[in-house]
């Protein structure tokens, strides 16, 4: 079973708790995502600009540790408003990739193009981003 830990410093951060709950629910509702979770080996920094909160997700050896940021450079750094971060959870996955040709997907794509959603490490860690999107997706 997937192990998810929220460090004490992040336990009072709503975004950290929400992401933990979202991932747990997705794993419970779709056991096929456990293999995906277990295959992740990455550090992801999620920065919600509008509420000035940064959450670090460290996936390593079938575990996820959620912290308040990182002291090292992340593989992926996602910068957006908090509502945009939630929009990422609504992306559908088709043929193993995020689907941008429906209302939710187009909304995310539009924010990417307008630089309202910035993903540093997008090209270097593209497959990590795809796996993360699949894990976050409630669709």
Quick: pLDDT tens for 94-112: 888 889 999 999 999 999 9
As given in the structure block, the two tokens for residue 124 are 């270097």
Which CATH number covers residue 93? 3.30.1050.10
**Structural domain that includes position 85:** 3-136
Chain centre distance of CA 18: 11
Per the document, the length of the chain is: 139
- Over residues 52-102, the pLDDT tens digits come to 999 999 999 999 999 998 888 999 999 999 999 989 888 988 888 889 999
pLDDT confidence bin for 138, thresholds 50/70/90: confident
Q: Residue 49's pLDDT is what?
A: 95
Alpha-carbon distance 69 to 106, whole Å?
A: 29
* Number of structural domains found in the chain: 1
Please check whether residue 48 is in contact with residue 80, taking contact to mean a CB–CB distance below 8 angstroms.
yes
Average pLDDT over residues 25-44: 94
76 pairs with which residues across the strands? 44
Q: Is the pTM of this model over 0.85?
A: yes
pLDDT value of residue 72: 83
């Amino acid at each position: 079973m997937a192990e998810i830990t929220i460090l004490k410093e992040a336990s009072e951060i709503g975004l950290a708790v929400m992401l933990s709950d979202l991932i747990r629910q997705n794993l419970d509702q779709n056991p096929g995502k456990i293999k995906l979770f277990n295959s992740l080996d990455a550090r992801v920094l999620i920065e919600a600009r509008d509420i000035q909160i940064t959450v670090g997700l460290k996936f390593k050896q079938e575990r996820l540790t959620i912290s308040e940021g990182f002291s090292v450079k992340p593989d992926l750094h996602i910068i957006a408003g908090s509502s945009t971060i939630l929009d990422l959870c609504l992306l559908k996955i088709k043929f193993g990739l995020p689907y941008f040709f429906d209302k939710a997907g187009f909304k995310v794509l539009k924010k990417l193009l307008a630089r309202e959603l910035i993903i540093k490490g997008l090209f270097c860690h593209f497959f990590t981003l795809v796996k993360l999107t699949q894990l976050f997706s409630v669709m």
